[in-house]
Amino acid sequence: MSMAKGLDFSTDKVLAKEFLSNFADAIGEAKYMNILQEVANRKIRAVQIDLEDLFNYKDLDEEFLRRITENTRRYIGIFAEAIDELMPEPTEAFTDDDHDILMTQRSDEGPENMDGSDPLQKMPPEIKRYFEVYIRASSKGRPYTIREVKASYIGQLVRISGIVTRCSDVKPLMQVAVYTCEDCGFEIYQEVTARVFMPLFECPSKRCVTNKTKGNLILQLRASKFLKFQEAKIQELAEHVPKGHIPRTMTVHLRGELTRKVAPGDVIELSGIFLPIPYTGFRAMRAGLVADTYLEAMSVTHFKKKYEEYELRGDEEEQIARLAEDGDIYNKLSRSLAPEIFGHEDIKKALLLLLVGAPHRKLKDGMKIRGDLHICLMGDPGVAKSQLLKHIINVAPRGVYTTGKGSSGVGLTAAVQKDPVTNEMVLEGGALVLADMGICAIDEFDKMDESDRTAIHEVMEQQTVSIAKAGITTSLNARTAVLAAANPAWGRYDLRRTPAENINLPPALLSRFDLLWLILDRADLDSDLELARHVVYVHQNKESPALGFTPLDPSVLRAYISAARRVSPCVPRELEEYVASAYSSIRQEEAKSNTPHSYTTVRTLLSILRISAALARLRFSDTVAQSDVDEALRLMQMSKFSLYSDERQKSGLDAISDIYSILRDEAARTNRMDVSYAHALNWISRKGYSEAQLKECLEEYAALNVWQIHPHTFDIRFIDA
């Protein structure tokens, strides 16, 4: 049986040799022979064999691949032997180190030493090797969580993810112990495979044994081969732990080139061999009932957390493709944001666009135009502003939630601080810097420190934080989308005062927000009833009322958004005119009405473009369409309405569009294209509009082909929602 096995392995060695010498990567280079050449030249030590390469190898032998994954440790030895035989001559000169000198000495002495088949005197191949072999699991598919690695995986190559919780120092681990005998003078070798070993004390060489001299052996530290060794503990990531359970941990052994790659707190992905710890001595004798296990690391990769580096899993790609085909993706995604918060459709849409963002533009003259959208939510206490903020942060792969007051001295931007130990000045980034390439949600925006408030101007437009303090002048990147929430000036929104008085922020800051929403807690019978119904339903049924749709998982949302963010749409020439005219008409309107509270500037134009671009991204389209611009304009209009709603009721003109939006929202909520006249009248009268205004609205929008009106019953049919 052992013969058969031996044969098996020697054929596998041939297979390994063939693979190493014949494998060609995508550009036709002999990848592994190049690596071996570098090893021969003492440039690198690690020979990393990618199982994916083996999978893509032209003469793929699936049985061979399976054998490697299931008995990886053995195959590392086989590959090492194969490499021994393939190792090319060095093409560059390198300086000999101690090891080489010893090796030359040994090979000089070799012939006279060879007194036969004494295995302990034969030099183990390990001592001659300069390289280390690693077999790396394929990076396809999802890595296991620690919980999923079961007894059946022992001995196999697995890939797992986790967070490093502890790291030991790097210590030398003896790989080959070399002794010299005081009597016969021979070098005796002992290979060490475990963490502890029993040193030899008596010379086992033939000469000593036959002479019965019991030659004293002396361990030669210099001649022995050591390996760097580090032990680490990894723990399951919080999101992989089932509810009501505690994260599991696993011991990881890192050797050679893999040491010093991880530090506590790192989120990593490991491939390695799941092995039992061989017990030694007493414990092994004691029935060996319980086995501790560890992971012999084969490769270490650090996790990325940015949108740009978000890797889609196989099934996600499919799901996104399916979602993208669905025409209603904009509504579907926005409704899935904070589904437990009722209503606020337009705000959620705006928040979705904030997550998606627009591409950054860099002009030829070096000027940068930001693509991040900034949104400010203003409103009475208790209208779920903070909840919205926190939800958005959860969806974003990189998000920082902070309050205007900030908790640390670093605050929002950055600070120069004196290190208490070294007394050196160090630069510490605040929330905005930490959220670089992500989203920074700032609650209590109005209660911000004065120093931060000045700095935030720069962050929001230039997207950098400049520091000139204590001899340090520098500028840090803060390419972040700002999502702010603020309370009105007097705690509650005071309807007797103007919006500008209520909003306690300087216009210079306000103009930097692309969209500004006011959420008021109105004494509205409808919403009160809605709330009461909701609470009663929750108590009765122990769950939230059905939403009329199934919200998408945050992970799906994240995947979709990250896919959307890869698109960078541009505005086609024929649309430029349209945008320009829309912008100028807004300006005209503003000039006509002498309201002091509008801030339509060039920034507004940029905002329109940004929002349209974000909308185009959602459709995975490379060009911005007119519908995108229309929706952008509508959102901006709605954001303005939320601010000046009291005036809108006075002026007859705005009432029409308000009625339209009420009807449209109600139709969307009930998911119907048809609205009966009686219903429509019911809805608008609750909001304080007259029947005459409704009729006016119906006519006006029918003329725009938004809906059709039945000539007799005046029932409404939306042409396209």
What minimum distance in Å lies between the beta carbon of 383 and another protein?
A: 10
Alpha-carbon distance of 134 to 32, in angstroms, equals 12
Does position 264 interact with another protein (CB under 8 A)? The reply is yes
Does position 686 interact with another protein (CB under 8 A)? The reply is no
- Residue with smaller CB distance to another protein, 330 or 537: 537
Task: Give the Å distances, CA to CA, from 12 to 54, 61, 203, 502.
Answer: 13, 10, 36, 78
- Residue with smaller CB distance to another protein, 266 or 715: 266
Question: For another protein, which residue of 24, 154, 500, 681 counts as binding (CB under 8 A)?
Answer: 154
- Residue with smaller CB distance to another protein, 150 or 573: 150
User: CB 426: neighbour CB atoms within 10 A?
Assistant: 12
- Residue with smaller CB distance to another protein, 347 or 615: 347
- Residue with smaller CB distance to another protein, 364 or 542: 542
Question: For another protein, which residue of 7, 101, 196, 580 counts as binding (CB under 8 A)?
Answer: 196
What minimum distance in Å lies between the beta carbon of 671 and another protein?
A: 23
- Residue with smaller CB distance to another protein, 231 or 674: 231
What minimum distance in Å lies between the beta carbon of 279 and another protein?
A: 8
Does position 8 interact with another protein (CB under 8 A)? The reply is no
What minimum distance in Å lies between the beta carbon of 198 and another protein?
A: 7
For residue 43, give the DSSP letter: S
Residue 264: alpha-carbon gap to chain centroid: 19
Residues 244-263 that bind another protein (CB under 8 A): 244-249, 251
Alpha-carbon distance of 94 to 620, in angstroms, equals 54
Question: For another protein, which residue of 198, 263, 678, 719 counts as binding (CB under 8 A)?
Answer: 198
Positive/negative CA dihedral, 622, 640, 692, 674 = positive
> What φ, ψ does residue 79 adopt, rounded to 5°?
-65, -35
Which two three-digit tokens encode residue 303? 């996790």
Identify which range of 289-297, 571-579, 629-637, 639-647 contacts another protein by CB under 8 A: 289-297
Contacts with another protein: how many residues (CB under 8 A)? Answer: 65
Question: For another protein, which residue of 41, 48, 293, 637 counts as binding (CB under 8 A)?
Answer: 293
Does position 276 interact with another protein (CB under 8 A)? The reply is yes
- Residue with smaller CB distance to another protein, 24 or 170: 170
Say if strands 716-718 and 707-709 run parallel, antiparallel, or are unpaired.
antiparallel
Query: What DSSP line would sit under 492-561, residue for residue?
Result: S--TTS-HHHHS-S-HHHHTT-SEEEEE-----HHHHHHHHHHHHHHHHHSSPPP-SSPPPPHHHHHHHH
Site string for another protein, 539-558 (x = CB under 8 A): xx-xxx--------------
Q: Do 68 and 49 touch, CB atoms closer than 8 A? A: no
Question: For another protein, which residue of 20, 163, 505, 564 counts as binding (CB under 8 A)?
Answer: 163
Alpha-carbon distance of 632 to 609, in angstroms, equals 8
User: CB 293: neighbour CB atoms within 10 A?
Assistant: 14
Beta bridge pairs of residue 475:
466
Does position 150 interact with another protein (CB under 8 A)? The reply is yes
- Residue with smaller CB distance to another protein, 241 or 369: 241
Does position 3 interact with another protein (CB under 8 A)? The reply is no
Q: Which long-range contacts (CB under 8 A, 24 or more apart) does 367-372 make?
A: 368/462, 368/463, 369/606, 370/461, 370/463, 370/479, 371/610, 371/613, 372/463, 372/479, 372/480, 372/481, 372/482
What minimum distance in Å lies between the beta carbon of 523 and another protein?
A: 6
Q: Do 41 and 91 touch, CB atoms closer than 8 A? A: yes
- The secondary element (H helix, E strand) that includes residue 336 is helix 329-336
Does position 425 interact with another protein (CB under 8 A)? The reply is no
- Residue with smaller CB distance to another protein, 391 or 640: 391
Residues 6+ apart with CB under 8 A from 167: 230, 231, 232, 233, 262, 263, 264
Does position 283 interact with another protein (CB under 8 A)? The reply is yes
- Residue with smaller CB distance to another protein, 91 or 540: 540
For residue 626, give the DSSP letter: H
Q: Write out the E strands in 356-463.
A: 361-362, 368-369, 375-379, 399-403, 414-418, 425-429, 439-443
Alpha-carbon distance of 717 to 711, in angstroms, equals 12
Residues 494-533 that bind another protein (CB under 8 A): 521, 523, 525, 528-529, 531-533
Q: Do 484 and 513 touch, CB atoms closer than 8 A? A: yes
Does position 73 interact with another protein (CB under 8 A)? The reply is no
- Residue with smaller CB distance to another protein, 56 or 249: 249
Identify which range of 288-296, 367-375, 480-488, 546-554 contacts another protein by CB under 8 A: 288-296
Residues 228-247 that bind another protein (CB under 8 A): 231, 233, 235, 237-238, 241-247
Identify which range of 10-18, 116-124, 281-289, 551-559 contacts another protein by CB under 8 A: 281-289
Question: For another protein, which residue of 151, 363, 421, 692 counts as binding (CB under 8 A)?
Answer: 151
Footprint of another protein (CB under 8 A): 147, 150-151, 154, 163, 165-166, 168, 171, 195-196, 198, 201, 231, 233, 235, 237-238, 241-249, 251, 264-265, 276, 279-283, 285-293, 340, 382, 387, 521, 523, 525, 528-529, 531-536, 538-540, 542-544
